[in-house]
Amino acid sequence: MKTRAAVAWKAGEKLSIEEVDLAGPKAGEVLVEIKATGVCHTDAYTLSGADPEGLFPAILGHEGAGIVREIGAGVTSVAVGDHVIPLYTPECRQCKSCLSGKTNLCTAIRATQGKGVMPDGSSRFSIGGKPVLHYMGCSTFANHTVLPEIALAKIRPDAPFDKVCYIGCGVTTGVGAVINTAKVEPGSTVAVFGLGGIGLNVVQAARMVGADKIIGIDLNPARETMARKFGMTDFVNPDVVGRDKVVQAIQDLTDGGVDYSFECIGNVQVMRQALECGHRGWGMSVIIGVAASGQEIQTRPFQLVTGRVWTGSAFGGAKGRRDVPKIVDWYMQGKIAIDPLITHVLPHAQVNDAFDLMHKGESIRTVLTY
Ligand code: NAD
Ligand code: AHE
Ligand code: ZN
């Protein structure tokens, strides 16, 4: 079939809307009509050329929601007409990682996913007979896409696509990092570095689990108002307190350091601050931000000897087929908020404007609709 997609031809260039050929689903695969997609900072990161797995030409986008239109042979877990959210972290329930009970990082299709192809080693997308690559196994910047069945969460049919698409990455990543990865307890003190599409979800989850003090850190002063609405109790702007005084400012607010911190930027200098603002003896710092190829984190080992813990979280530690439908329910029940974070809704054809809004710090999330 033919579909329309925003194609990333080269790193650093604007996307261009093209008519693309899409081959039907093979065994175990599903063709999905994407109805809406968020634009995450990770799409911008890959487009910038900093991602070692960034391959071109490709169809980016990994935060979508849509409807199953066709299923390949042997598909049993979804049917035509089901509403679904694509999962860049699939859940095969059979690999060593899925069976371990210790991680959400399913390995069933990770190798081919990183090469921009389906599990059989080929792409379903092409233009003029030349393959165009998939991205993070999702390619939600295409109106129609093909995914393995293990990479789809079936969701309730009354959930609005233009809101719950955000659960395909940002919401689950932020909320899951608090609940699944850090397991923040009621009464905790929390620092959230970066109050964007991910960080604000960390803030709302920290409030949801009953954290007492939630300190937000961002260079963009415009982030303060929204973050306070989501539960932030204190705001630190590194340009106001001094970029080298952020750790001290957080220690002063918390009698020596926070119980939990989350880095939601992808900046290795900030990752160090996030670790070092943790309380001596137990402060846990969770890295969520994705840093470019070649970047490395540093700290004095003494920070770890004295009990601080450095860890990380991908897709909020969520097992997508199990947890994503639950998070959709939480949204529908009003337990978590999504609507205020979607600051812009644009037609798919304006995808480049979504990146501009992100880079200018004007949007929290832009959702593209088809
Ligand atoms: P975003 O652009 O919406 O938000 C980033 C925020 O950080 C902005 O508010 C910005 O003002 C702030 N910021 C930038 N530099 C700063 C600094 N030096 N100090 C303080 N604040 C600073 O991005 P996002 O969509 O929220 O994504 C955040 C990061 O999380 C990105 O690196 C993205 O790739 C990553 N990410 C990781 C996962 C995962 O599973 N681990 C999932 C989604 C996104
Ligand atoms: N190709 C990138 C990997 C970036 C990365 O860490 N991605 C996160 C999801 S970001 C979503 O917005 C992730 O899930 N990582 C686990 C995995 O298996 O990729 C790079 O920098 O190499
Ligand atoms: Zn993302």
Mean pLDDT by 10 residues, the chain (370 residues): 98 98 98 98 98 98 98 98 99 98 98 98 98 98 98 98 98 99 98 98 98 98 97 98 98 98 98 98 98 96 98 98 98 98 98 98 98
How confident is the model at residue 349, as a pLDDT?
98
CA distance 109 to 286: 25
Alpha carbon of residue 115 to chain centroid: 19
**Cα 171 to middle of ligand 3, angstroms:** 9
How confident is the model at residue 276, as a pLDDT?
98
CA distance 316 to 172: 6
How confident is the model at residue 267, as a pLDDT?
98
Q: Which residue intervals of the chain bear CATH 3.40.50.720?
A: 174-313
Top-level class of domain 2-168+338-369: alpha beta
CA distance 145 to 124: 8
Q: Give the CA-trace dihedral at 63, 268, 316, 278, to 10 degrees.
A: -150
Question: What 3-state class would DSSP assign to 326?
Answer: helix
Catalytic residue among 69, 110, 228, 344: 110
138: nearest Cα among 128, 150, 130: 150
With a 6 Å cutoff on the Cβ, whether 188 touches ligand 2 is no
**Backbone phi, then psi, for 33, in 5-degree steps?**
-90, 115
How confident is the model at residue 269, as a pLDDT?
98
Q: Which residue intervals of the chain bear CATH 3.90.180.10?
A: 2-168+338-369
CA distance 113 to 70: 21
How confident is the model at residue 298, as a pLDDT?
98
Question: What 3-state class would DSSP assign to 129?
Answer: coil
* Residue identifier of the C-alpha nearest atom 11 of ligand 2: 42
Tokens 């340009």 sit on residue? 239
Tokens of 138: 């999702």
Tokens of 366: 């832009």
The answer to ipTM > 0.95 is yes
CATH architecture of 174-313: 3-Layer(aba) Sandwich (3.40)
CA distance 12 to 14: 7
**Cα 41 to middle of ligand 1, angstroms:** 7
362: nearest Cα among 263, 174, 160, 226: 226
* Residue identifier of the C-alpha nearest atom 15 of ligand 2: 314
